[in-house]
Structure 1
Amino acid sequence: MVEGAVKHKRNRPKRRKVLEVRPFCWYCDRSFSDELSLIRHQKHIHFRCQLCSKSSRSGKKSTFYSTIALKEHYAQVHSETLDEVPGAVEGRAKIGEDNNVIGMDGIPPDAIVNKAAALRKRYPRRRVRVDQSINTMAALSGDSEERAERKRGGLLGNIRAKTGLTGGSNYHQHRERDRPRDMVMQQQRPPQMAMPVQPAKPPGPAPTYMSDVPPIVREQPRQGYGRY
């Protein structure tokens, strides 16, 4: 910039940053950058067995995919009844089919509307936008086991190696599901050409072994002509 030049202000209006309603945990009302971080948080905070973590000497954590599975684990393994979700806020801690939220699946639409209204009230001069994917995930219906299976096979099954999440694998179920497609692709595949048969090589000279080589006889020094 030239020394002594006058700086002029720009007349265009200042751009406001748009606020987005990010995925949030239904049990503790904490927001996350994506649903992967949200599911990982739920597994290690709300879907973890507290008794196994305390009794295990190696520090192994028994995590599950839903509150219903965690409640069944308490009843079958520890012979105890679990009625509240660990680490949940008041009013959202009761375990049941109507309060079994996995990721963003099963969250009431009113909760998303209230979340956006709270952002508008806190930042009145900014525009608040709700991502369509959040509404789609919250509108998914079905049984709790179906939603847990969808999360386990869809999102968690593809990135389990990167996140270190524990749990069952759906490898065999996916193989059975993709078997008809693989058979059709195999029928449509063009036949492969057979590899030409290489002619047999003529036998070469027989290998030489150490037993066939005569031993090396070294000349012994004559006696009486040495130094000693």
Structure 2
Amino acid sequence: MTTVVIVDDHAMFRRGVRAELAEHVDVVAEAGDVAEAVAVIRAEQPDVVLLDVHLPGGGGVEVIRQAPSTDGRPVYLALSVSDAAEDVIGVIRGGARGYVTKTITGPELVDAIRRVDAGDAVFSPRLAGFVLDAFAGAIPLAAVDEDLDSLTEREREVMRLIARGYAYKEVAGELFISIKTVETHMSSVLRKLQLTSRHELARWAADRRLF
């Protein structure tokens, strides 16, 4: 059976995925942050790593950087709630073989794992367009990377939610932080991106297909 490590910072979600996969693959370990993920991947040397994009300690791309594939193993399959172009393109450029969202069904996830294990690239239908556009030059990757590199991981999360139209109170509830902290992050985002309002931020993010 294909050996799998599940990397996600929500233990309940990991348990649910493990239960879905139990009869089809061999889940050899779980991890909840970057450091733990790197340790278990090195120890277990799985065939496939199911990897969330946003993790404590640096994110999914940092896991791939610290525990890179050797001779094709492990294969990284991103499994995330995010369908933002920046996340999809970033993790694929980092070395992941596929990207599926958490709306995927259990049987679809089993199929995705088997396909990436066999060497295929696997994407949820909408996300494949981001990757094609990126390689076709429709999305200006260099400019996106340069702008986003100036933001911290938390600032990116706040930026994405504000750009989608969330109120500060809703962002605070979504990220489990105070409204004051949201305001602080938002001010920092606008300053770094040289924007003046949330409306400009929404246009900026839409132009770059970040949500």
Given the two structures, how large is their TM-score scaled by the length of structure 2? 0.23
The structure where helix makes up a greater share of residues is 2
Could you say which structure has the greater relative contact order, defined with CA pairs below 8 angstroms and 6 or more residues apart? 1
Given the two structures, how large is their TM-score scaled by the length of structure 1? 0.22
The structure where strand makes up a greater share of residues is 2
